[in-house]
Structure 1
Amino acid sequence: MSLLTIDNLRVEFGSGKQAFRAVDGVSMHVKRGELIGVVGESGSGKSVSMMALMGLIDPPGQCSADQLLFDGHDLLKMDVKQRRQIIGRDVAMIFQDALTSLNPSYTIGFQIRETLKLHMNLRGAALEKRVLDLLDWVEIPAAKSRINSYPHELSGGMNQRVMIAMAISCEPKLLIADEPTTALDVTIQAQIMELLVRLQKESNMALIMISHDLAIIAEMAQRAYVMYAGQVVEQQPVPNLFDSPTHPYTKALLDAIPEHNKGARRLSALSGLVPGQYNRPQGCLLAPRCAYAQAQCHQNKPPLAQVGIAQTRCFYPLEVGS
């Protein structure tokens, strides 16, 4: 049984003819203890999909789905109070920029305490011990002396560790990491990724890693979802995704990796632009940019179909058509 099941998730901003569907029929499933990658260029709907799951889409944004199940609970049927008992405790999220996610007016210790008070009802000595244990767990040096520090007094890497400590404080069953190494240098990026993988294995929690960095997904994830213009266009186990991509967009992402362009004068790049609100193609959203597109691709929308062990949104998947 899946820990998380998302079926046909849609997120729209605006109404009527001005409405823009930022997430268009996304379906995912995540098992307990599984590490999932979600990849795609900026604007593909990765973060918005997960924010919809967390209930963080404010008006004029509108969310709908055929099914949104977490650990046997139907999130669609819950009111705000019931949902808040799960979100933040059993499902937690690490956001891209820790410095803007943390409140600059409060110490890091205060902010971690608030999470523990709300979701675990800890008080007194037990609360203080838990805060210090968390800071030690995420490898913040001299944790006792840092507990009363403000976010601006810490480095970007330390603030990201504080965010991770807050996210795992209630021992969530599912952790969502939204590009957690944004704006960090390469050495710190590697440390943060190693920390997340270690915590995920030690606590057997499911982890969804959102990234545009294919190298991170290749190294960490067991399965990956590739998103384009608000849709999942391919899903399959990570080794196969890199060895045998079935969707032209996935192939284009892999072809653009610098290591695949040694000796070339320029990096391989997909021509054209991601469709926006007013230039959505009638058929496949990738068709105007796709070298494999045929007449059917420009006229009809392809479903997400099974191709071997992969799922791909293409009438002519590469495994079959090339």
Structure 2
Amino acid sequence: MISGTSMLLDIKNLAVTFGSGHDPFRAVSGVDLQVAPGEIVGIVGESGSGKSVTMLAAMGLIDAPGRVTADQLTFAGRDLLSMKSREKRAIIGAEISMIFQDAQSSLNPAYTVGDQLLETLAEHQNLKGAAARARALELLEQVEIPGARSRLSAYPHQLSGGMSQRVMIAMAIACNPKLLIADEPTTALDVTVQAQIMELLVSLQRSRDMALILITHDLAVVAEVAHRVAVMYAGEIVETAPVPQVFATPRHPYTQALLASIPEHSKGASRLNTLPGVVPGRYDRPSGCLLVPRCPYAEDACSRAHPELVLVGDAQARCIKPLDDEGKPRA
């Protein structure tokens, strides 16, 4: 575990609730997450598991009727929950930046690449005129866009998916953030471009010594670049551990199922390994462990009580019987 005094981002008991009245829906519940300076943390899980909502909540980007609560939500020792809106605006987009899913949809189609970069620089660094344009060109060159000068006057529809993603990365690093959140940064890109984008992100992370939170479905990427991983299911973190340990000895049945579904693990089989069922939604959530309907190890006790995160070596797992080194429930 990382010392609390060294935390860049420290989240404890985060919850995100949508709706009001007698039937609110808690999309994220009880999330604890810590990120140290310069650390790469992967957040993995199926669609609908709460990965993106968790990070949007941390950045203060959940609008009404959504409600965010937490016992602690601090960034570099500053309390984001009690912070005034003006102070928070000075941090979000500058010290904390986020690359959203689908870059081509995130860019404004009515403005050129240069205009959108200049707006970011004017808002957070008070750069204008020739100095701002020079900085914008420098940023495009840093993200390895060919013909960077000509791209300043290009509109988003004139860019490929990979180029658009590089522009989004340039905007995200424009203010030298301490923390960069990348939400599925390679979605909808071909395999070759995916590898290039990930290589670029890791290179920028290392050269700037910034923390990186990588939200992804791709466990192979997490294995290659991340230091720690948090596995989410149905709005909760069900396991968190150093990356080597998660891949060698997963402690939660859901993590084990995710790893088994990697195609390389099904070589020679007639079918890929799968976990039957879907992530529970608003109206079909079990009262005990949320994985019960899909878990191959479920027993009666799993349906009676909602499990807490328990410490298993260097890992934490939300299971009444975390898996042992052989991949079986502990007695």
1:187-211: per-residue Cα shift (whole Å, max 9, x none)? 0000000000000000000000000
Measure the CA separation in 2 of the matches of 1:282 and 1:96.
Answer: 32
- Equivalent residue letter for 1:269: T
1:257-313: per-residue Cα shift (whole Å, max 9, x none)? 111111211111112221111111111000121111222111001101110110100
Residue in 2 that maps onto 1:171? 176
Measure the CA separation in 2 of the matches of 1:295 and 1:17.
Answer: 29
Q: Are residues 1:199 and 2:204 paired?
A: yes
Residue in 2 that maps onto 1:91? 96
Q: Give 2:276's match in structure 1, choosing from 251, 254, 271.
A: 271
SS class of match (1:227): strand
Q: Are residues 1:78 and 2:83 paired?
A: yes
Measure the CA separation in 1 of the matches of 2:153 and 2:23.
Answer: 47
Q: Are residues 1:151 and 2:156 paired?
A: yes
Residue in 2 that maps onto 1:29? 34
- Equivalent residue letter for 1:321: R
Measure the CA separation in 2 of the matches of 1:16 and 1:30.
Answer: 35
Residue in 1 that maps onto 2:71? 66
Superposition deviation, residue 16 in structure 1: 3.1
Measure the CA separation in 2 of the matches of 1:73 and 1:110.
Answer: 32
208-217 or 264-273: bigger deviation:
264-273
Q: TM-score scaled to structure 2, two decimals?
A: 0.96
Measure the CA separation in 2 of the matches of 1:150 and 1:191.
Answer: 22
Contact in 1 for aligned 2:38/2:205 (Cα 8 Å): yes
Measure the CA separation in 1 of the matches of 2:93 and 2:87.
Answer: 12
Q: Give 1:247's match in structure 2, choosing from 238, 242, 252.
A: 252
Give 5+ residue unaligned stretches, structure 2.
Answer: 1-5
Residue in 1 that maps onto 2:228? 223
Q: Give 1:234's match in structure 2, choosing from 233, 239, 243.
A: 239
Contact in 1 for aligned 2:46/2:279 (Cα 8 Å): no
Q: Give 2:292's match in structure 1, choosing from 283, 287, 293.
A: 287
Q: TM-score scaled to structure 1, two decimals?
A: 0.98
Q: Are residues 1:304 and 2:305 paired?
A: no
Q: Give 1:321's match in structure 2, choosing from 311, 326, 330.
A: 330
Measure the CA separation in 2 of the matches of 1:66 and 1:59.
Answer: 20
Contact in 1 for aligned 2:46/2:233 (Cα 8 Å): yes
Percent of aligned pairs with the same amino acid: 62
- Equivalent residue letter for 2:30: G
- Equivalent residue letter for 2:103: A
Measure the CA separation in 2 of the matches of 1:163 and 1:120.
Answer: 17
Measure the CA separation in 2 of the matches of 1:204 and 1:280.
Answer: 41
Measure the CA separation in 2 of the matches of 1:5 and 1:18.
Answer: 30
Q: Are residues 1:113 and 2:112 paired?
A: no
SS class of match (1:77): coil
Q: Structure 1: which 4+ aligned runs deviate by more than 6 Å?
A: none
Measure the CA separation in 2 of the matches of 1:54 and 1:244.
Answer: 32
Measure the CA separation in 2 of the matches of 1:63 and 1:240.
Answer: 32
Cα RMSD, aligned residues only = 0.9
SS class of match (1:216): helix
287-296 or 220-229: bigger deviation:
287-296
Superposition deviation, residue 54 in structure 1: 1.3
SS class of match (1:42): coil
- Equivalent residue letter for 2:49: S
Superposition deviation, residue 125 in structure 1: 2.1
Q: Are residues 1:100 and 2:105 paired?
A: yes
